[in-house]
A and B are shown apart, each in its own frame.
Chain A
Amino acid sequence: MLDLSEFRSVYLEELDEQIQIMEEELLRVEKAGSAENGIQRLFRAAHTLKGSSAAMGFFKMKSLTHEMEHLLDKVRNNELQMTDRLTVLFFQSVDLMKILQQEIVQHNQEMSDIHAMTLLLANYMHEHEHEQLQVQEAPHSSKLVPRSAAKANELLSRLEAASSSGVQFKWVKFTLAADCGMKQARMKLIEMSVCETADLFCTIPDLSAEWDEPDNHRQLDCLIGCPLTTEELAARLEGLSEVEGIEIQECGMEQLQSELSPKKEAVLQEPAEPVIGDKTKAQTIRVNVDRLEHLMNLVGELLIDQTRMQQLDKDFRQQFGSNEATQELEQLSDHLQRTIGNLQESVMKVRMLPIEQLFVRFPRMIRDLCRTLGKEVELILEGGDTELDRTLIEDLGDPLIHIIRNAVDHGIESPEVRREAGKPAKGTLRINAAHEDNQVMITIEDDGAGIHADKILRSAAAKGMISQTEAESMTEREAVNLIFHPGFSMASKVSDISGRGVGMDIVRTDIERMNGLIEIVTEKGKGTIFKIRLPLTLAIITGLLVQLSGRTFVLPMTNVTEIVRIDPAMIKKVKGVPVLFIRNQVIPIVWLHDHFGYERSDHTKKHIPIVIIGRAEKRIALAVDELLGNQEVVIKSLGSFIGKVEGISGATILGNGKLALILEAGSIIKMNINSY
């Protein structure tokens, strides 16, 4: 039995990629009409998947892509028109492929029935075959010369350069086992292990080009440069699976030159091929996420040590004054700081992905939503190249999808209603991502009906979430923010689009878990904007250091909306609760001391530092004893023994080696909001 597990992950990655490409191209074709290279790309994706699915033994996927490929082939040869019906058929096929993909991922076998779909595709072909103007034999592709003149030249110059620096060339000839499955993939794996040991110049057959060898081809020749002796090399390359034999030959530069040159001439006589997307050496590599995670942890440790070192440096200078040794220490510490700063930035960058990754899911989703709901929505995606931590991108998916579904379902009205209201029939949904300081700002803006505060109040009162008197005393803002209340749902009927009554509450919790902030701005009849602010990364944040009763605490900067110093006389009381009037907002003041059971420090000071933290429209003013400034901090968990502590999300190690607890704004607000 052939063990395919090694190939499985490669196959699944490819599958994912190709399905994504197909979906994108289909959307483009649907929007802009068929463009030749779009069809070409679709065809290639179907073709690629057909081959690899067959090799992996996923025959349903194979037959499905086979039918698609067949149709696309006709389209690209202008024998068929790309009609709306055909596009829809292709969309349905891609959906089915996704289902199959899920089944392969979860159960390693295909379970869904594809018969109906293939029949539909085949029928379409059959029905439209008569319309064909002429049946043209597709010209047999002339891939006789995989190596173009440019490539031969490039190779030759690389060889010459290597030879002049004293590199010894060798031909390593692999013969695969006769029963080896997926020979191309196996050869790729061999190529990879050769690259680990030596400089690889070229392979025969060329693995970076399209595969057109017969199925029984099992010879792979690699030209390498390597200082090892033949025996050493043989020992290194031993033990590759499914390799029957390895033959290593020394080979001189002259020989290679003579081998390459005549070919070069032969190539030159041919009409020069346009070099489209000349496949250069891959500029990217795939790295296991765990390794990145580990790197990030190490950088975190370095960062902590470095802040400690700075502190020590300061102490030394105080103790011994400025002499040669302390100066050198200072220089060293400064240099380390710069280097670690760069290192941190680089590692963070490696973990960053463009938010595009998330955005690509939306066009299809909107298209489907519009079809089911009978609405027209123009989706505008902006700032797809905005980068943020990959864990954040993953966690952001669900909340964003939820907000978007809500916007299309409840926000944007049906075309008739919109026309009546004097708006264009087609609604607009704009999703924007941008960097703002050290944060990412994501806005989801629709030009729909807006959120009606009175409707929400009625619904909330009917559900018993608030009392009648509460409902009457609520401001519009407060009312709108009720949608974040657990168990609140606007939908009068539960649909599969939105409205399971768990929606916005979960969205907010998700965002807050990422140390983010979500806000709504809404105007009746004009539309709604959701604003999400997130830190760039989860592991290292900018924190505001504050002091409470002699203890240092860290507040994530993302939660801080304002820092002010106030005169104690500015504190007013509303219904016995100390509040602060600031910019026409009444903000309750909280002394964390009381929550944590510390003594409040004396109030004889002239000014009290106040940190205003926010969650949605709720603001809370934290009275602290002192502001100590902000600093990058590495978040560490308190561990399973301590577990969850209300108001605390973790701890960090400060420059002096001491620990500071990180405050969790969300739960602090929650703890206090109930009392107002």
Chain B
Amino acid sequence: MNHSAHEQYVEFGVGEENYAIQISDVHEIIKMQDITDIPNCPYYVEGVINLRGRIVPIISLRSLFAIGEEPFTKTTRIVVVHHKDDSVGIIVDRVNQVAVYADIQTPPERVGGISETYFVGIGIAAAGLVGILKLDEVLIRE
């Protein structure tokens, strides 16, 4: 894994923790939308939204990481990322900033109770540690 020090990340928070996604993977960040739920789907798939005429599936990081559901707030955002040829929206509690991490370390086995497989690394920032998400793993669907 080659993470240059100049790589930019979109940093966001879910619960107490901060996470980040490479900026090149992020398509856009939108406010909370009306979500149409889809029956018989995996627990972390919240449903689909209409994004300017396109149908975009939405997943919840809270569900995926089993952090416990919280009602959406004013700061809740959907981070729309590229996934293969489609887009997928990820619900996060808040979007913090675009950040550059000078130091990225390999993740320990558990990151705050979440399996290391979800992370490419841990960014060391002034405000604390940031889990950099491995999108392929987060968006995996069996």
Contact = CB atoms under 8 A, between A and B. Distances in A.
B142 to A, nearest CB: 10
Contact of A637 (B34, B50, B55): B55
Nearest to A653: B50
Contacts of A544: none
Contacts, number: 65
Interface in B37-79: 37-41, 45, 48-50, 53, 55-57
Interface stretch (B82-90, B98-106, B120-128): B82-90
Contacts of A645: 38-41
Interface in A68-116: none
Interface centre among B49, B53, B88 (most CB of A within 10 A): B53
A676 interface: no
A658 interface: yes
B25 to A, nearest CB: 14
Interface centre among A301, A642, A648 (most CB of B within 10 A): A642
A301 B88 CA distance: 21
B39 A595 contact: yes
Interface in A30-72: none
Interface residues of A, number: 27
A658 B53 CA distance: 10
A641 B139 CA distance: 8
B141 interface: yes
Given A597-B39, A641-B139, A658-B34, 17 more contacts: A305-B53, A596-B39, A598-B39, A636-B55, A638-B57, A639-B86, A641-B86, A642-B38, A643-B141, A645-B38, A645-B39, A646-B40, A647-B40, A658-B36, A658-B50, A659-B50, A661-B38
Interface string B125-142: 000000000000001010
B86 A647 contact: no
Contacts of B139: 641
Interface centre among B39, B40, B45, B49 (most CB of A within 10 A): B39
A636 B51 CA distance: 13
A598 B37 CA distance: 11
B48 to A, nearest CB: 6
User: What are the nearest 6 A-B pairs in CB distance?
Assistant: A596-B39, A659-B36, A639-B86, A641-B57, A642-B57, A636-B55
Contacts of B34: 658
A321 to B, nearest CB: 28
Contacts of B41: 642, 645
Interface of A: 301, 304-305, 551, 595-598, 636-643, 645-648, 651, 653, 657-661
B50 A642 contact: no
Contacts of A597: 39-40
A234 B98 CA distance: 55
A597 B39 CA distance: 7
B39 A648 contact: yes
A657 B39 contact: no
A551 B41 CA distance: 16
23 contacts: A301-B53, A305-B53, A551-B37, A595-B40, A637-B55, A638-B57, A639-B57, A640-B84, A641-B57, A641-B84, A641-B88, A641-B141, A642-B48, A645-B40, A647-B39, A648-B39, A651-B48, A653-B50, A653-B53, A657-B50, A658-B34, A658-B50, A659-B55
A659 B48 contact: yes
Contacts of B37: 551
Contacts of A647: 39-40
Given A643-B141, A651-B55, A657-B50, A638 B38 contact: yes
Contact of B83 (A551, A636, A641): A641
A116 B34 CA distance: 71
Nearest to A636: B55
Contacts of A661: 36, 38
Contacts of B39: 595-598, 645, 647-648
A397 B109 CA distance: 56
Given A645-B38, A647-B39, A640 B86 contact: yes
Contact of A642 (B45, B53, B84): B45
A301 B50 CA distance: 12
A657 B38 CA distance: 17
A460 B129 CA distance: 65
A137 B68 CA distance: 96
Contacts of A551: 36-37
Contact of A596 (B40, B85, B88): B40
B48 A638 contact: yes
A597 B41 CA distance: 11
A661 B48 CA distance: 10
Contacts of B45: 642
Contacts of B57: 638-639, 641-642
A596 B38 CA distance: 8
A449 to B, nearest CB: 44
